Amino acid sequence: MLIEKGVHFLAIEGPIGVGKTSLAKIIAERWKAMFIEENFVDNPFLEKFYQNKEAYAFQTQLFFLLDRLKQLQHSALQSDLFHDLLVSDYTYDKDQIFAAQNLSESEYAMYEQVARALNHDIPRPDLVVYLQASVPTLLKRIHGRGRNMEKSIEGAYLKGLMDRFDDHFWNYPYAPVLIINTDNIDFVHNEADLQMVLNAIAQCPKQTTYFVPEGK
């Protein structure tokens, strides 16, 4: 399907709570792809970050930066050996979005130095699916999944992230981006909604494309 159109690495992206991991898992299962999941569970600073953003933002971002790099490099090698398609629920570049949102000016300058030093031989996706949703939708989904560390997330923080995500993926330089508005659909629990999303991805757009599904 995607392989015939030259897509060997598909990345699902979006802000907190939009459903990127759920969609990536479904695609990996149905299209028999290798799945890479963002490793937030092992980040020893993440829960502390939600409790005190200023004190733990830099450590949190640095862990994610290094861990994502290691995951992608290792998984790309494994995929070449055992799978035709690789699906991830993040891109390496997304870390810069959170860094710009969370770090102080001096911390961000140091972070950029580290990121630039590592920014070589990084596997880049052939297609990015960027899932959008409004702040009320994101808050509803975040509260619905019930992760204790995320209870402190506020709408203003999500709005800042959404603006940065929009700017980043509308101008993404490495691959075509399929932008899908998910406010009125539920691809996790509604098969018709899921098929609509999968069909849009299977079209494999060659340039940045905006898709608003017809929800019920």
In the numeric block, the tokens 């990536």 are attached to: 24
The active-site residue out of 42, 67, 89, 193 is 89
Nearest-angstrom CA–CA distance, 46 and 11: 23
Which parts of the chain fold into alpha helices (H)? 20-30, 46-51, 53-82, 94-102, 105-118, 135-145, 155-170, 191-202
Q: What are the distances in angstroms from CA 204 to CA 71, 130, 178, 179?
A: 25, 13, 8, 12
Which residues on neighbouring strands pair with residue 36, listed in sequence order?
88
Cα dihedral 94, 206, 133, 8 sign: negative
Say whether 80 is catalytic.
no
Q: What are the distances in angstroms from CA 175 to CA 52, 100, 115?
A: 35, 22, 20
Nearest-angstrom CA–CA distance, 24 and 28: 6
Half-sphere exposure of 63 (CA within 13 A, CB side): 16
- CB-based contact 114:65 (threshold 8 Å): yes
Which active-site residues does the annotation give?
89
